[in-house]
């Protein structure tokens, strides 16, 4: 699925789109959060979960992966 279709699905509240997003990008989010927490995986997981909740509420349609990840 292309980024625009993925984010369109997420903005429409489609669970399969969020599942695909997590499958594609979840590890990146966790890796970055783990770096910011100096290796504290539990805090990093909490940060990612909070970010995902915010994302669910405010998802916008993105045309490119660069736009999505910035």
* Whether pLDDT at 54 is above 90: no
Smallest Cα–Cα separation from 11: which of 47, 64, 69, 55? 55
DSSP 5-34: HHHHHHHTT-HHHHHHHHHHHHHHHHHHHH
- Write down the pTM of the prediction: 0.73
* Whether pLDDT at 64 is above 80: yes
Give me the sign of the Cα torsion angle 18, 23, 24, 29.
Answer: positive
Whole-number mean pLDDT of the chain?
89
CB count, 10 Å around CB of 62? 18
pLDDT 10s digits, 3-37: 889 988 988 889 999 999 999 999 999 999 999 99
* Whether pLDDT at 69 is above 80: no
Please give the structure tokens belonging to residue 31. Answer: 């890796």
């Amino acid at each position: 699925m292309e980024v625009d279709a993925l984010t369109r699905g997420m903005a429409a509240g489609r669970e399969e789109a969020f599942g695909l997003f997590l499958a594609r990008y979840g590890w990146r989010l966790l890796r970055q959060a783990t770096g910011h927490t100096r290796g504290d995986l539990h805090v990093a997981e909490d940060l990612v979960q909070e970010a995902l909740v915010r994302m669910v509420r405010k998802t916008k349609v993105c045309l490119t992966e660069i736009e999505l990840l910035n």
